[in-house]
Amino acid sequence: MFLLCILLGMQLLSCKKGTVLEGEKFVEVYIPFVIQTGDTLDLYIDGKLAQTQTTNRRFFNVVLKQKEQLNISIHKAGAAEALVDTTVTVKTDRVSLSYAYDPTLGFNRFVNPGDFDRPSSDSIAFILVNNYTGFGSGKINVTIYRNNSKDYTANPADSVTTIKNIALGAMSEKFVLPAYSADGTRNLYVGVVRDAVSGMDGYGEYNADYGPANGAYLFINDDATSSAANGLINGIAIKSLIYDSGSKIYNLPDASIAFQL
């Protein structure tokens, strides 16, 4: 009888211990850095510092007790003010948020899955950065034309897409274009920058003075941007080029490679 009581007691303790372990649920918070700048950042979860990491280490990764919701914020190391914050509903045992941060380029946001996935080798991807100062409202539309003959013109029949309402200092979403035509010719893409409010062409006054009326000079994968590569995401900065003809000063849009991912 004494032995039986001991065995029953051990069984009850074992069941109690097993129930506690079964009830403990954890969630992994995984936040990879899209861009490695070397900046040191703090990760806060529900207002508490969870981890400090440099972007060169490529990600935040912490495990904590699971809750229905988590408030996640990222700060510059030691700073009280958040760079970004969001509240997520925990549905599985892993919360994954990709974070793009590069203050020199204007990146500071959580990104959607696929936003920074590279295209296949027969495609070329772009993100446009609006650094075109002193022009119109500041917000621009950029129409992309295929111009494989490289005759520096924009013909309506060759228009492939228009990227709209890029605010000054901001950047567009990623867009992907075919790298080759059906006959295997490498596609060259030229952009025409227009004010998003008035529709004014950045080269409009220059073209009126020197022609042709449909002149287009802003190649996004040739000339100054010839290093734009298939299979990569090519960041193209659209910036101001001041040209003094001797009789008139023009504020023209110019292009350069800002980054490649």
| Number of domains forming the structure of the chain | 2
Instruction: Specify the pLDDT at position 58.
Output: 87
In a domain, 13, yes or no: no
In a domain, 7, yes or no: no
Judge if 255 and 127 occupy the same domain. yes
In a domain, 228, yes or no: yes
In a domain, 15, yes or no: no
In a domain, 19, yes or no: no
Render pLDDT for 126-174 as a digit per residue (tens, 0 to 9).
999 999 999 999 999 999 999 999 999 999 999 999 999 999 988 899 9
Judge if 84 and 173 occupy the same domain. no
Judge if 136 and 89 occupy the same domain. no
Instruction: Specify the pLDDT at position 1.
Output: 46
Handedness of CA 173, 34, 54, 41 (dihedral sign): positive
In a domain, 50, yes or no: yes
In a domain, 2, yes or no: no
Measured distance CA(140)–CA(119) in Å, rounded: 25
Domain range for 130 is 123-260
Instruction: Specify the pLDDT at position 23.
Output: 65
Tell me the whole-structure pTM to 2 decimals: 0.72
Question: Strand 218-219 relative to strand 159-166: parallel, antiparallel, unpaired?
Answer: unpaired
In a domain, 84, yes or no: yes
Q: What CATH number is attached to the domain comprising 44?
A: 2.60.40.1110
Residue ranges of the chain whose pLDDT lies below 50: 1-20
